[in-house]
Amino acid sequence: MFYADLKHFKAKTGYEINGIWYPRVTSIVSIKAKPALYKFYADQGNFSMAESIKSKSADEGTLIHETIEAILTEKPVAVPHPIQPAINAFLEFKKKNEIVPMKIEERVVSKNHWYAGTVDVIGKLNGQLGILDIKTSYSIYRDYGLQTAAYVEAVKENNIFPTTRWVLRIDQAKECTKCGAKMREKGGNIKVRGGTVSCQHSFGETVGEIELKELDNFESDIKAFLACRNLWEWEHDFWIKKIKNGSSPI
Ligand SMILES: [Zn+2]
């Protein structure tokens, strides 16, 4: 990534909160190599095509996020048609589980470790206090442990003590009625996974999918996140020095 100047670097990689600039959790964890992402780029065969799919797919993810957050805050919301199946899956989940949000889209700061981030939900799920991260990915990746551990650590500094972390994965796909293969269409990228290769697929309606995973091993995840943070600082040494030595408040 090329940064034109300090202002550009700060805007792309962090937040300014009460006059102090902090690196963003998502920027910090992006320092870690992501083999699955490289495979995705290789599969697209074309960098700009892959970028376009990624950004459209991120837009859909944002729409799902915003809609769910509106539902949780009990705001009236018109569900956009293309994401209706995913939202239905969430509403079904909400009926079966008691979600009591305390904070939604909450900006959290770790002054001890110098980073900030935005937590989707801090609240109680079936009576247990935790943080909930909503993902619209194909599966629940191990890397999510780093991000969510960082949020927990920051939340604790603000005297809220979550006892656990969850990832709630929400997605939608069409299923083959013959072999069970699943077809996802995200950002114009059509991908068929599972099922039988020789099958002449017959795909049905788009159906929502929802999966809740509680993450354990907090100690190991926070250690790994803080290692990422140190590496992030090393990688961006050029800009960090400017920030730390600058006459303007950091
Ligand atoms: Zn099939």
Q: pLDDT digit string (tens) for 110-124?
A: 999 999 999 999 999
Give 22: exposed, middle or buried? Use CB within 10 Å, 0-12, 13-18, 19+: buried
For the chain, the distance separating the N- and C-terminal CA atoms, rounded to the nearest angstrom, is 22
Matching residue, tokens 């996802």 = 184
Distance 138 CA to ligand 1 centre (A): 19
Q: Which of 61, 105, 113 has its CA nearest to residue 83?
A: 61
Q: pLDDT digit string (tens) for 167-225?
A: 999 999 999 999 999 999 877 778 899 999 999 999 999 999 999 999 999 999 999 99
How far is the C-alpha of 51 from the C-alpha of 44, rounded, in Å? 9
Task: Band the pLDDT of 30: cuts 50, 70, 90.
Answer: very high
Q: Tell me, what's the pLDDT at 250? A: 45
Distance 88 CA to ligand 1 centre (A): 24
Distance 183 CA to ligand 1 centre (A): 10
How far is the C-alpha of 8 from the C-alpha of 29, rounded, in Å? 19
Hey, what domains does the chain have and what are their CATH numbers? 20-239 (3.90.320)
Distance 71 CA to ligand 1 centre (A): 35
Distance 90 CA to ligand 1 centre (A): 26
**Mean per-residue pLDDT, 45-60:** 72
SS percent in the chain: helix, strand, coil, step 5? 40, 30, 25
pTM of the model: 0.87
How far is the C-alpha of 162 from the C-alpha of 151, rounded, in Å? 10
Distance 213 CA to ligand 1 centre (A): 28
Q: pLDDT digit string (tens) for 127-155?
A: 999 999 999 988 899 999 999 999 999 99
Q: pLDDT digit string (tens) for 58-114?
A: 688 889 999 999 999 998 889 999 999 999 999 999 999 999 999 999 999 999 999
Distance 234 CA to ligand 1 centre (A): 49
Distance 197 CA to ligand 1 centre (A): 8
